[in-house]
Structure 1
Amino acid sequence: MSLDQTSYRGRFAPSPTGPLHLGSLLTAWGSWLLARKAGGRWLVRIEDLDPPREVPGAAGLQLRTLAAFGLASDEPVVRQSERGPLYQAALDRLLDRGDAFHCHCSRRTLAANGGVHHQCVAAHAIDHPSVRFRVPPRTRLEFDDLIQGPVHQDVGSEVGDFVLRRADGPWAYQLAVVVDDAAQGITDVVRGADLLVSTPRQILLQRALGLSTPRHAHLPLLLDADGRKLSKSLACAPVDASDPLPALRVVWAALGQDPSAHAGAASVAAMLSMAQREFDPSRIPGQPVAMPSLPDTSVTRRP
């Protein structure tokens, strides 16, 4: 894995839907380590675009947890809920160019096509239509992920015209993340492998808006004993901000790093200092990782 040593800008962008768990800690620390390895900047962005899914106070709790683990944003934290005018400007450009269009279709009307939109099939107009990005048939995209390797997707057949703004008002993740990454000068998008399938859509949007495409590195997912993604699992307990070291050791191993390297690291500061010296990006696995057992003191168990 080749990292730019002069202008690297990475980010961690959680949604405030609950406390941080081991899977989100892996993404946070993995993205932080890659930024530090490159001598670059690491930013935190709160992706609070979907109020019905948000948990009151979750964003603040997430930031306090990151701080307890020694992970502080190098620049002021950005919140997507405050950036609507930027998204509207980008949407207007896409509409003006014909790359986006108003769509009156509901999920029910698209069910016959498996939910994939190729053309509008709604019989009646609605007062507040969604806005979709136009994906011509046979649109295929490929890119090289720094961890996962070559990725190919037939966006036309597998995804179709995708939503930029929902009919009920909220901005879609695909548009917001592209606009924010460009506005913040992000050079490297480091996130969980569950978002790998979204990347081709974002690259299409970047091209349509005349924006540069960052490098991508999709970190391995943590799985529970039944092979489920940790965030979907009953094993998904919050990490314990009062005792960060056990969780950091687990995540260090999940990132494929040498567990003997942190011997003697008895504080968060010592652990992070060791990690910056010893971190080897080439050891990060591409495949999902089974979550190891944690001591009872390392996480706060749900009742």
Structure 2
Amino acid sequence: MDAPTDHLSTVRHVILVLSGKGGVGKSTVASQLALGLKHAGKKVGLLDVDLCGPSVPKMFGLEGHDVHQCPEGWLPVYVDKEQQLGVMSIGFLIENRDDAVVWRGPKKNAMIKQFLSDVVWRDIDYLVIDTPPGTSDEHIAVIEGLKAYNPDGALLVTTPQGVAIGDVRRELTFCRKTGVPILGIVENMSGFVCPCCGEVTNVFSKGGGEALAKQAQVPFLGCIPLDPNLAASLEEGKDFLQHYKASPTFCALDTVIKKLIQVDRDF
């Protein structure tokens, strides 16, 4: 049995986190999803294939960590001592965090294929894959690399604005053309949580993601507000879900995660 089959055949569920547009908080949603699944008692892997913008290591306070090799391949960097949440990102392979990844498509695709085949996840419940924005070569490389393993599907992230909603429509088309099931849509940055009183105010419009989900006949998983405490936690590499359980954002994220697990079961 070849190495890719060995490593991915023990992964029970694979979830792709996609967005048609950059800056909608896709990596934020992916990181909180991974943490939420871990807190739900699952063993989780988070694979960051956004090669030009690898932000996941910083979000977990893992910058400067090295990837180690074992006879089977690359070992992920673990967030916790119990090794319930492992992370892999090109950010661990770049010597200087200010270095730019200036690669043509074939080299990016080769790197993604190596991430899919060579990382030793060791019998995990969920593999969450944080992808770059758009519908590019990298996405096709990921989907082709996962085809034999029947990924559960894609979680699409949008913000309330019409521009982002339009890009997600194209992402929906991409998923359908490539045969990727759609697990649901999340509307991120939907309202603002006051750090003093916890009240949620709609800074932008609201409901675009839910309307799109209804129109496309896919599940709507919920709205996640802008929250200064979440932003600070990501900057400092702290576990927001552990420290802010009374916040509206925790409730919103918890709802999204529970719905996603249920949708995943239904598939």
TM-score (norm: length of structure 1): 0.33
Larger Cα-atom Rg:
1
Higher relative contact order (CA 8 A, sep 6+): 2
Task: Looking at secondary structure, tell me which structure has more strand per residue.
Answer: 2
TM-score (norm: length of structure 2): 0.37
